[in-house]
Chain A
Amino acid sequence: MALALAKLATLRANDAKVSATLPAELTDAELAERARAGDRTAFEAIVRRYQKPLFRAALRYVRRDADAADVCQRAFVRAFKSLESLQKTRSLRSWLYRIAINLSLNHIRDRRDDAPLDLDALPATSAPVGTDRLIAGEQRRALVAAIAELPPKQRAVLELRIYDELPFREVAEIVGSSENAAKVNYHHAVKRLRAILGKEAAS
């Protein structure tokens, strides 16, 4: 017991030492390099940096908080196991997103028998009451349905651009296409949504 406690104390001291020498402004590439070399604190820094965006990306697909948290956790563990395979020239962020989105899609595929999306049960908009919301009511429901029905790649590109504000270069890395193809997919998605919103506004 005493030996175990002593080991734990040593581990914590080592962690603290590494943490103290880990500048907050380390780049993704530097963190990935350190994590690859076995620096636990560097991997924890990666988790802290990306847990929120990955959770939100997963939530867009799986819809339930608990499922999104589960996907997020599995994404990081999988990333940890695969750190060796992360190419130095590749963006850590897009690599993590790609893993999380793949796991989210797998999650959806494994739960196809789940109840379909209940549009009436969607939470109210995040915009405060009284602001000049662009859409409301039926138009809103139509847009939600339209986004859900976009081809997967178009939807992924649209959401990664708008929600995550990622550059097209990284969006392309995540969805596995060329940058031009990502831009075109984005164009198609916006065009389709514009048509739906225009139709709703006219009716």
Chain B
Amino acid sequence: MTLRDHDIERAVRELAPRPDREPDWEAMVDSIMSEVDGVAAAPVVPLFRRPAVLAAVLAAAAVAIVALSPRRSTLELPAVVGLSQAPPELPRPAEVESLDAGELAALDTLLAAEITSALAAGGAIDWIADAPDPAWADALASVDSLSERELARLASSLD
């Protein structure tokens, strides 16, 4: 039997995972909106409105925090896109150096939340792609090894 793309697609479609039980969609909306209302009602303290400024300050502060607290483990710097590229010679912000342990911990938590949010806004896939996962490396290599002409040919055959 010769299998065409259409056959494969149909076979895969047959395997679409189904929930054991259809969720209560209305309850899910209520739950989401309830949490969203909580977020909206929480006081917002804008750290920095310009993303570039925020990224630079985050990088500098995170590097300083790690330098100040070698045993700190809540921030996994190598896993955070952008921060891993921060130049090592970044100066330590004086205000960070002057913080006590409690303030540092609070700043740490704040930074982790900001970084998580920044990743969610678009950096996370890059972070995953950069992760030392052989499967990702294989997938990327298989694409990268193709010439532009091969890419174009394959792309047009799938249009």
Interface residues of A, Cβ cutoff 8 Å to B: 38, 40, 43-44, 47-48, 51-52, 55-56, 59-60, 63, 65, 68-69, 72-73, 76-82, 85-86, 98-99, 101-103, 105-106, 123, 125-127, 133-135, 140, 143-144, 147, 151-154, 158-159, 162-163, 168, 174-177, 179-181, 183-188, 190, 193-194, 197-198, 201
Any chain A CB within 8 A of the CB of B5? Answer: yes
Q: State the CA gap A201–B7 with chains docked (Å).
A: 13
Contact of B9 with A80 in the complex, beta carbons under 8 Å: no
Which residues from chain B contact A152 at a C-beta distance below 8 Å?
A: 128, 133, 135-136, 139
Known A102-B125, A184-B143, A186-B158; 13 more pairs at CB < 8 Å: A43-B36, A55-B23, A56-B16, A65-B20, A81-B117, A123-B18, A123-B20, A151-B138, A153-B136, A153-B140, A162-B9, A163-B13, A175-B125
Q: State the CA gap A44–B40 with chains docked (Å).
A: 13
Q: A63-B17, A143-B11, A194-B3 are in contact. Are A51 and B154 (CB under 8 A)?
A: no
Which residues in window 1-41 of B have CB below 8 A to A?
Answer: 1, 3, 5, 7-21, 23, 25, 28-29, 31-33, 35-37, 39-40
Any chain A CB within 8 A of the CB of B45? Answer: no
- Find the residue from B5, B14, B125 having the highest chain A CB count within 10 A: B125
Any chain A CB within 8 A of the CB of B52? Answer: no
Whole-angstrom distance between the Cβ of B52 and the nearest chain A Cβ: 13
Any chain A CB within 8 A of the CB of B151? Answer: yes
Q: A133-B14, A187-B154 are in contact. Are A77 and B32 (CB under 8 A)?
A: yes
Partner of A82, one of B121, B129, B139, B157: B121
Whole-angstrom distance between the Cβ of A25 and the nearest chain B Cβ: 20
Contact of A163 with B16 in the complex, beta carbons under 8 Å: yes
Contact of A102 with B128 in the complex, beta carbons under 8 Å: yes
Whole-angstrom distance between the Cβ of A153 and the nearest chain B Cβ: 4
Contact of A78 with B28 in the complex, beta carbons under 8 Å: no
Whole-angstrom distance between the Cβ of B136 and the nearest chain A Cβ: 6
Q: A126-B16, A151-B136, A153-B140 are in contact. Are A135 and B11 (CB under 8 A)?
A: yes
